[in-house]
Amino acid sequence: MVDERISKLAKILVEHSTKVKKGDLVVINGDTVAEPLVKEVYRLCLLKGAYPAVHLSLPGMAHTYYKYANDDQLARFPEVAMFEAKKADVFINIHGDMNTRELSSIDPGRIATRGKVVRPISDVRMKKRWVGCDYPTNALAMEAEMSYEEYENWFYDACNVDYVAMKKRNQKLTDLLNKSSEVRIVSKNTDLTLSIKGMTAENRPGQYNVPDGEVFTAPEKFKVNGHIEFSYPAIRGGNEVDGIYVEFKNGKVVKATAKKNEKFLHAMLKMDEGSCYIGELGIGVNYSIDRYTKNLLFDEKIGGTIHLAFGMAYDECVVKNKANGNKSALHWDIVKDLRQDGKIFVDGKLVQKNGKFLI
């Protein structure tokens, strides 16, 4: 008997997020620990008349790759993966972390190198119907400082929400950003102004991420000025960077410090020409997610927070203003909590105070 929470989540992924239909070629990528959800997604795809293929990853494979792959292997473009990306209609990715710090001992330069090599495949996949989702594990529960049972209940409460109602609730904010020119973020050790003139804001209720709950846009590349102190550690490839403070001038990072793993922060910001510019401003609007868990899929959606992404701007945000959109192999979201002393101004008008909207 399948847990009804898993059945509900699988239905969201197949029917709401990716809208799988008869004849679709569906690629389901998952970790072995997520077997119950992978199997349920697979079953629903078959019932839809689709043609699903499943790729499972074993624990520790990423670490093995980055530890033992030589330079030629790191630089080798995966032609088979590109062929699949071009042929498939839908990608459903289900992650079940058994060790969230698996890559913490790996040279970040190797991870950055591989990221640039496989970027064209990501570009193709992102033009298809796709969704990414996690599966609850003990490792994630430990990071969130919860028991597994507590985390599992919290996880499904955050994921299995009414995304249709969420979309309606956040359309007013989306419409406001779409007709505005400037956003200012003010909080402790933070005063940052971003131009969003000519950019497009997106209201995302469960289409590409589950859980979901954010309204995001892209700033003009050269029109981000000020400073920000991020509230929470940023984790990438198992590397935790904490106490991040960044200053911007004309869009570019001119100063970046961290209390922990500053070297890794600098390596990411030097990945390519665009990695030291901002590609996304996101506003978290999922108030079912009420705590930081060291899992970005959840943390960037916390109601009452904002996040900035260093690097790539999403095409849909810069469709009207492509000249000012940022290009990069990096897209790294870092979260700022505004629930205690934060304010968001849009074109000079206060629209959110201490995490609560005033519109």
Same domain, 171 and 155: no
Same domain, 250 and 329: yes
What the block records as the tokens of 203 is 């209201």
Same domain, 182 and 108: no
Say how far apart CA 307 and CA 305 lie, in whole Å: 7
Number of independent structural domains in the chain = 2
pLDDT of 266: 95
Single pTM value for the model: 0.84
Same domain, 47 and 133: yes
Same domain, 55 and 184: no
Q: Which of 112, 137, 160 is the last residue of a domain?
A: 160
Same domain, 150 and 203: no
Same domain, 146 and 124: yes
pLDDT of 189: 96
Q: Which of 160, 183, 218 is the last residue of a domain?
A: 160
- Residue 288, domain extent: 165-357
Same domain, 191 and 271: yes
pLDDT of 104: 84
pLDDT of 101: 85
What the block records as the tokens of 284 is 């978290």
pLDDT of 324: 79
CATH number, domain containing residue 26? 3.40.1830.10
Same domain, 213 and 339: yes
pLDDT in tens, the chain (359 residues): 889 999 999 999 999 999 999 999 999 999 999 999 999 999 999 999 999 999 999 999 999 999 999 999 999 999 999 999 999 999 999 999 999 889 888 988 898 899 889 999 999 998 999 999 999 999 999 999 999 999 999 999 999 999 999 999 999 999 999 999 999 999 999 999 999 999 999 998 998 999 999 999 999 999 999 999 999 999 887 789 999 999 999 999 999 999 999 999 999 999 999 999 999 999 999 999 999 999 999 999 999 999 999 999 998 999 877 777 899 989 999 999 999 999 999 999 999 999 999 98
Q: Which of 141, 160, 179 is the last residue of a domain?
A: 160
pLDDT of 329: 85
Same domain, 220 and 257: yes
Same domain, 174 and 137: no
Same domain, 180 and 155: no
